[in-house]
Structures are given as structure tokens and as C-alpha cells.
Amino acid sequence: MAQGAGPLAVVAILHDCSGLGPRPSGAPDGVCLAGSRSGNLGPNRRLEDAFAALGYAQRLPYVDAKRIGVMGGSHGGSTTLLTMGQPGFRAGVAFYPLLILIGELDDWTPAVDCNRLAGEVTLKVYPGAHHSSDGTGGNAAAWNDAIQRVMGFFDRNLSRS
């Protein structure tokens, strides 16, 4: 968690399809969790909610509006990827595998949005880990490593410099 004099960097945590639990999608201890909407939780609604959270955080006096990250796993991970194709969040962490295959001349899903990510993506594959390796019966070693990597990633990418 961010400490010290503000304004502070913050990270919006996007929950998975299970909704909010004691530690959804990698939320570390001490993270404030707000309720989610029920009903339609398709990609467009989730993207809308992510940017509503961004706007809310940007208006908080103790938050540095230019140092807001986003992360999520599973359903929240796919939404995280959608947010990174638009301006707003400074950094993002999406749990679970990703492969982007796209046509150069695609006019429905422009390749230019994906090209921006090509040099910025870091991939870590955990041998023996399944979809939900989050310490709730998954791969504890992978989960502990992921927590360290996430904290380091946001420390580097949401720094004041």
C-alpha cells in the first residue's frame, strides 16, 4: 500500500467473475474493496466501470491523478487489457495468458492499439500453475512470486519520475 505524503499512486483492482471476496484477483491485504454491480457484467460494462473508478480516483485530493494503475485476474484481467488500449491508466497488470493475433489492415480492431503494447509486455509463465493460482488452493509459490512482481511493477511504473 502507498505510504507517505501525498499525492499518492493508487491501483484500481478489477474483480474476477466470482465477484468480490476476501482477496479478489490479487488484492493485497489492506486494499479497500467496494461493491460491484449485479446483472450485465460484459466487457463494455466492465470497461465503463474501470474508467468510472479512474475518474473517481483522479478526483480524490490525496491521489496523484497521473499515477493510477489497474489490475485484475480472469474477467478482471481481460478488462485490464481493454483499459490499456485507451488513455487513462498509467500501468496495468493482467493475470492469465495472452496472445494477440491481429491483421495489419484490420479496421474493426486496429493493430495500432496493440502495437503500443508490443514493447511493454512482460511475460512470466509459472510451471504447474492453473488458472486460479491465487493461494486459495492454487500454486502458492507462483502466487507469492506474482505478488512480488506486481508490487515491483507498480513501484517502477507509478513512481513520481
Pick the more confident residue, 4 or 152: 152
Does residue 122 sit in helix, strand or coil?
coil
User: Roughly how many angstroms between the first and final C-alpha of the chain, as a whole number?
Assistant: 19
Task: State the pLDDT at residue 22.
Answer: 54
> What domains, with CATH codes, occur in the chain?
8-157 (3.40.50.1820)
CA angle (150 as vertex; 5, 77 as ends), nearest 5: 115
The model's pTM:
0.67
Residue 161, exposed/middle/buried by CB under 10 A (0-12, 13-18, 19+)? exposed
27 and 95 Cβ atoms separated by less than 8 Å: no
Q: Please state which of the ranges 9-13, 72-76, 90-94, 107-111 shows the lowest mean pLDDT.
A: 107-111
Note the pLDDT tens digit of each residue in 133-160: 555 556 778 888 888 888 888 898 898 8
Q: What is the pLDDT of residues 19-57, one digit of tens each?
A: 655 554 444 444 444 444 555 567 778 899 899 999 999
Q: Give the model's pLDDT for residue 29.
A: 45
Dump pLDDT digits (tens) for 51-97. Answer: 999 999 999 999 999 999 999 887 888 889 889 888 999 999 887 66
Q: Long-range contacts of range 120-124, CB-CB < 8 Å, 24 or more positions apart? A: 122/153, 123/98, 124/149
Comparison of pLDDT for 59 and 107, the residue scoring more: 59
Q: What pLDDT shows up at residue 73?
A: 80
